Amino acid sequence: MKLDVKDYENRMKKTIGAYESELDSIRLGRANPYVLNKITVDYYGCPTQIAQMAEVKAVDARTLTITPWDSTTLRSIEKAIHESDLGINPQNDGKVIRLAFPPMTEETRKQKKKEVEAKGEEIKVAIRNIRRDANDKCKQMKKNSEMTEDEQKASEKQVQDLTDSYIKKVDAVTAAKVKEIMEI
């Protein structure tokens, strides 16, 4: 009986998906609505993402506008943006909040590049931990006589091949984001 690697593959897919969405939320020199995904606003006692309570649009390459559906939340949204690590001062005109993204400096680019590469390494470690879990399961199945040694070796090879392919995907996603950062 071989190990069913579908569960481990799904875990690796979810890990990469989370990594990609985390990279989308990194602030670059241009307006990107995803940078607001990590910011939550206290909306009637419930932490709520800005995108769930307002229309967020990129007006041009360097400006985002936030138009809340409930105008009473304008101050709360502005306060949440101020308190976040976004590093941009919101401009409130009473109806709409504008976020003007300054161009990135060379120092900021290098810092963002290091940040992306560090997160890429963390994701690789997470994928390797999933591989370790699969290999531990193989060893346990072998110990319990649920699989032969040949089946164990074949399952471990299959898991290793899967791990290698997902590590390559992480490298590709990281390289694409670094390239995007350096070209801005």
Give residue-wise pLDDT tens across range 113-162: 999 999 999 999 999 999 999 999 999 998 998 888 898 899 999 999 99
**What are the boundaries of each domain within the chain?**
6-23+105-183, 30-100
Residues 123 and 170: beta-carbon distance below 8 Å: yes
Predicted TM-score of the model (pTM): 0.75
Which two structure tokens, joined as six digits, stand for 71?
Answer: 């105008």
> What fold characterizes domain 30-100?
Gyrase A; domain 2 (3.30.1360)
Residues 159, 54: Cα–Cα separation, whole Å: 44
Span 71-84, pLDDT tens digits? 888 888 988 888 88
For the cut 70, the answer to whether the pLDDT of residue 1 exceeds it is no
Residues 56, 145: Cα–Cα separation, whole Å: 57
CATH 1.10.132.20 holds for 6-23+105-183? yes
